[in-house]
Amino acid sequence: MTSKYLRGRKIEPPAVEPNISAADLIDNHFLAYNAGRLREAARLFTDKYLNDNVTIGVTLTGALTPAGLGMSCLIPMIEAGFIDWIVSTGANLYHDTHFGLGLSLHAGSHLIDDVMLRQDGVVRIYDILFGYKVLLKTDAFFRRIFDEPEFQRTMGTAEFHYLCGKYVREREARLGLKRRSLLSVAHEYGVPVYTSSPGDSSIGMNIAERKLNGSKLVIDSSIDVNETAAIVLDAKRSGGKSAVCIFGGGSPKNFIMQTEPQIQEVLGIKEKGHDYFLQVTDARPDTGGLSGATPSEAVSWGKVDPARLPDTVVCYCDASIAMPLLAAYSLTRHAPRRHKRLYDQRSMMLEALQREYLSAKNRKR
């Protein structure tokens, strides 16, 4: 009798042919090691994440938008309804804005002398090069819009980025640009964009500068904590599932994952954890760092439903490799989904969260 361990797919791939599609390459040739994990990730995302009743949160860590991944991958996925909400570093959103302002970044080399680059007014992100004036022009854009009356109050980062996206979109229109800025497209499709550490980027630095000039703009992170928890609870209470797709790790990973402990541990609402977990990372789990923390470890915190562990994948790969392949696979293998426009539903979801919280609190008395 054949062992149960030998029931997996027989490794006997066809020869790679000219003009093969990325989706066919993944299905037929990514059979083992981290290629195998990437195939599992692509299939998990396409076969389960993209069901209509699944709410998909995506996190962005590392310099992804400067490499053009916003334009090439994230924007097409938003347009197809494959991304419902985002948690990003502020740096990704700041550098994303360069493109929406018509500013240019260039492919270069990581072997250039950085002292010479500084003398020549050039900034380097590994092998991406751009002029120092790109930073100054982007700073000036943000400072100008932060002086607008609608920014003179306290708000969470979803509302803040929605307003920023509106102004980036207006600038794109004046410049005759299309599909350049992640913030602009997120604004168009009602995809809420959160930043877990709003002071940790050039956007936050410019907010601080305007504060010294009398601005009333205040970012309240408590709004974000409750809104993101409300998004996850709404996904579950509406009869659906919550899925997280994590590129990198760091603070955005923790922020999207802490929604379940916020619901269960802090608010006292009965819940079980996220249903689907997919992470692309190059971090090891044995160092105890957040970015290498596995979905099974997350179960111990209540972040992942223990019954859903088979629906989790960790792919140890550079996100700049995995993201285009995942985008190509899902856009090839799945039809577009209905846009959930979660930004427009924030108040309703937050009210539902508060009702459940107060009900759970009263039961404990």
What is the rounded distance in angstroms from the CA atom of residue 197 to the CA atom of residue 153?
19
Given 236, 241, 253, 303, which residue is catalytic?
A: 303
Whether 303 is catalytic: yes
CA separation, residue 140 to residues 12, 75, 104, 145, 240 (Å): 57, 25, 16, 9, 43
Adjacent-strand bridge partners of 60: 88, 247
- Please compute, for residue 323, the number of CA atoms within 13 A of its CA located in the half-sphere on the CB side: 28
Q: What is the DSSP string of 227-245?
A: HHHHHHHHHHHTT-EEEEE
What is the rounded distance in angstroms from the CA atom of residue 158 to the CA atom of residue 156?
6
Residue (of 14, 41, 110) closest to 324 by Cα position: 41
Residue (of 286, 217, 226) closest to 255 by Cα position: 226
Query: Which residue numbers are catalytic?
Result: 303
